Each structure stands twice: as structure tokens, then as C-alpha cells.
Amino acid sequence: MQKRNLSFWQMWNLSFGFFGVQIAYSLQSANISRIFATLGADPHNLSYFWILPPLMGILVQPVIGTLSDRTWTRFGRRIPYLFVGALLAVVVMSLLPNAGSLGLKSLGAVMTFGLIALMLLDTSINVAMQPFKMLVGDMVNEKQKTTAYSIQSFLCNAGSLVGYLFPYIFTAVGIANVAAPGVIPDSVIYSFYVGAAILIICVIYTTLKVREMPPDEYREFHGIADKPSEKAGIIRLLARAPSTFWTVGLVQFFCWAAFLYMWTYTNGAVAGNCWGTTDVNSEGYQAAGNWVGILFAVQAVGSIIWAAVLPRFKSVKTAYVTSLAVGALGFASVMFIHDRYLLFVSYLLIGAAWAAMLALPFSILTNSLSGERMGTYLGLFNGTICLPQIVAAATGGLVLRLVGGNQASMLFVAAIFLVLGALSVNIIKTDSNIH
């Protein structure tokens, strides 16, 4: 069949719920280190808390991909998963920032509650997030796929921008940004509440506006044979994965390790370099926490700007290398800057790498995949995002000790990772094998 084109607004509706999901994700990524440091975690142990989010991703997303590939309901195949995931995320977002104010009697109990809430939050975000990537692969033809993923990238960055700014905005309107020792400030708590409300509204919008293809139409659209597909386990599917899967995955390894260090150590780096404090209960540390949201918002703006530049490159590989090199320069500069406003330049540059990481890997990979196991392979590909974060989180405390305990130095380590990622781009194999 001739694969129909979708209108701009049809492609917009496919990804609009991603705006709300990304608000939740940005609140998590910008505030987790702040939350656990405020609850009483040792700075050398902060990276260990970051093992849970990618660990849940690597466990959940392949399962969601495989199950949704086999699901056909009156509500669709992907939408039931994203709706249930969003609903669970709303509940957990209302609980996590209250870990220090529930009357738990010991630091261990508070940390345990926080870790369980973080695990459930990231599980639910992963359940809600992955179907949006699959919806584009399912319903958009090859000609429009780059445009559709660009729309999704825009909504992703716009959601990040909103989520990152919430604590700063709430503080500006007079909501308390400091609290008793071990208690999360109201500015952060209210940010999670409002983020949860926006999340569920956006997901309901996509649920009401999008109608997925029925099974017969889907098979015809993707050229899938009527006969049942051969059953294959995860190991067999990985063995059959196109070479693109593995070569892009190597670049992903270095990139996501770098950003794990950014999310983990920016708060401590900014507090130390720009506010001259490491006291997590001080007004300066909490002000630095708000400023991290501003910096991450600047990164999102940089990403939006750079996303408009990417199509101007004649070569995808050149775009990839250039983006990662620009991001590496931004990471390296953080270590030497003590003016909080000058850090805007650093995070604008980091946004270039983030734009490439959002747009290029999935665009390259999906052109090597058929629709039959699109969800399964995209779920497995998420391992190239989660595994490097797990490795970086598990080794973060050791690396921090090796650089003398200076959290700003960890951003320089992140720069080295991005340089290695840029060097690895040249080995990417692009092919059109269908698996």
C-alpha cells in the first residue's frame, strides 16, 4: 500500500503527551541529587542513587516493547501502557519529595522510602515514555519520520524547560526554598505536584486524540506477512540486530555516561564554585539547586536551537561528531567557571550534544528496522542508554575520590566521555537490513 502522509497536527498529537512525561523526567533528573543530599546522603554516595533509574529502564523498556508489540485492544497497542505508566507516575510524584516530612524516625527509613519512591517513579516514567517513541515508528512513514521525531524532540526539550524552571519560579513567587534539616523545601515539593498534574493532562490529550491502526492495517502499512512471525528470544533478536544497533550503541555508551555525571554532580559543582558552600542545609546550597534548574533550562534552549541547525549538515556523522565536540567543550568549561551567569554559555554548548543524542540515534536506527518487532528492538536499544548510566553511577564515587572529591571535576570527566563518543561516531555502520 502507499503509505499515507500525516498532517503536522497529527504528528504533534502523537507526541504531545511526551511534553508532560518529560516534565516529570526533568524534575527527577534536576532534583534527585538535591533531594537525597538534603535528606542526608554523603556526596561520595550520590551516584549510587542514580543506579536505580537506568536499572529500571533496562528492565522495563524491553518488556514494554515486547508486550506492546503483541497487544491489540480497543484503545490501541501502545496507548494502554503509556496511560497506566503516567497514572502511576502521578501518584509517586506526590510521594517522593515528601520523604523527609512523613515522620519516619531514622535516616535509614527515610532513605529507604526515598529509594523505593525513586524506583517506582522511574519505572512509571519508563512505562509512559517508551510508547511515544514506538507510536512514531508505528504510524509515520519513512519520508516523514525525521519530521515526526523532530516534533517529539521539540516537545521533549520544551517539557524539560518547564520542569527545570519550576523550583526557581516557585521560589521567586515566595514559596520557601529552605526547610528544616532533612526536609525537602516546599519549592521542590510543589514543583512535583504541578508537574504531576500537567503530566496526566497531556497524556489524556494524546489518549483522546490518537487512534492507532487496527492489526490488519498495521500489517499492510509495514509490509508484514499475514503468517505468524517466528518466535525469537531476546538473545536471538540481539544476535540478529543490524550492525547499526551495535555501532550507534557504542556512541550512546559514552554520551549517556557523560550526562549521568552532569545530572549527579552539577548541584555540588555549582554550589562549590559559585556559592562557595558544600553545606546541603545552607541557603546557598539550596539556591544553587534552583540555579541548576535554570542551567538545565538553558541547556534545553541550546538543544532547541541546535536541533534547528542539525538538518543543515550534509552528513549525519559530521553533525553527530560536531555536536558531541561542542558539548564536550561545554562540560570542560564548567570546572573553571565561578560566575553563575557565565555558566549559561557552558550549558548552551552542552545543549548541542543533547540535541544530537535525542534526534540522531533513533533516526539512524529505525531506518534499519521493520515494523514487526519495532517495539522490541527500541526497548532493547534503550539498554544503550541505561547500561552506561548504571556503569557511571556504580563507579561515580570511586571516580570522585580519584579527582580529589571536587564535584566540578566530574564535569571534566564527562567532557572526556563525550570526546570518546565523538571519536566512536566514525565506526557507525548504517545499513538497511530488515530484522
Q: Are 432 and 323 in contact (CB under 8 A)?
A: no
What is the pLDDT at residue 1? Answer: 52
Please give the backbone phi and psi of residue 203, each rounded to the nearest 5 degrees, phi first: -70, -40
What is the pLDDT at residue 13? Answer: 92
What number is the average pLDDT over the span 54-72?
79
For residue 316, with 0-12 CB atoms within 10 Å meaning exposed, 13-18 middle and 19 or more buried, which class applies?
Answer: middle
In a domain, 182, yes or no: yes
For residue 404, with 0-12 CB atoms within 10 Å meaning exposed, 13-18 middle and 19 or more buried, which class applies?
Answer: exposed
Q: What DSSP designation does 311 have?
A: G
Q: What DSSP designation does 76 have?
A: B
In a domain, 78, yes or no: yes
In a domain, 246, yes or no: yes
Q: Are 27 and 184 in contact (CB under 8 A)?
A: no
In a domain, 2, yes or no: no
What is the pLDDT at residue 35? Answer: 87
In a domain, 325, yes or no: yes
Q: Residue 24: give the domain boundaries.
A: 8-225+233-427
Look at residue 34 and tell me whether its pLDDT is greater than 70.
yes
The structural domain count of the chain equals 1
What is the pLDDT at residue 197? Answer: 96
The CATH code of the domain that includes 221 is: 1.20.1250.20
* CA 366 to each of CA 149, 342, 363, 430: distance values in angstroms, whole numbers, following the listed order: 11, 38, 6, 11
Copy the grid coordinates of residue 66: 515486547
pLDDT in tens, 385-431: 889 999 999 999 999 999 998 999 999 999 999 999 999 999 887 65
In a domain, 435, yes or no: no
In a domain, 1, yes or no: no
- Of the chain, the percentage scoring pLDDT greater than 70 comes to 93
- Count each helix (H run) and each strand (E run) in the chain, helices first: 16, 0
Q: Are 200 and 20 in contact (CB under 8 A)?
A: yes
What is the pLDDT at residue 219? Answer: 77
Average pLDDT, the chain: 86
What number is the average pLDDT over the span 288-301?
92
- Identify the residue with better confidence: 102 or 371: 102
Look at residue 138 and tell me whether its pLDDT is greater than 90.
no
**pTM tops 0.75:** yes
Q: Are 240 and 434 in contact (CB under 8 A)?
A: no
Of residues 168, 163, 14, 15, the one with CA closest to residue 89: 163
Q: How confident is the model at residue 435 (pLDDT cuts 50, 70, 90)?
A: very low
In a domain, 418, yes or no: yes
pLDDT in tens, 320-336: 999 999 999 999 999 99
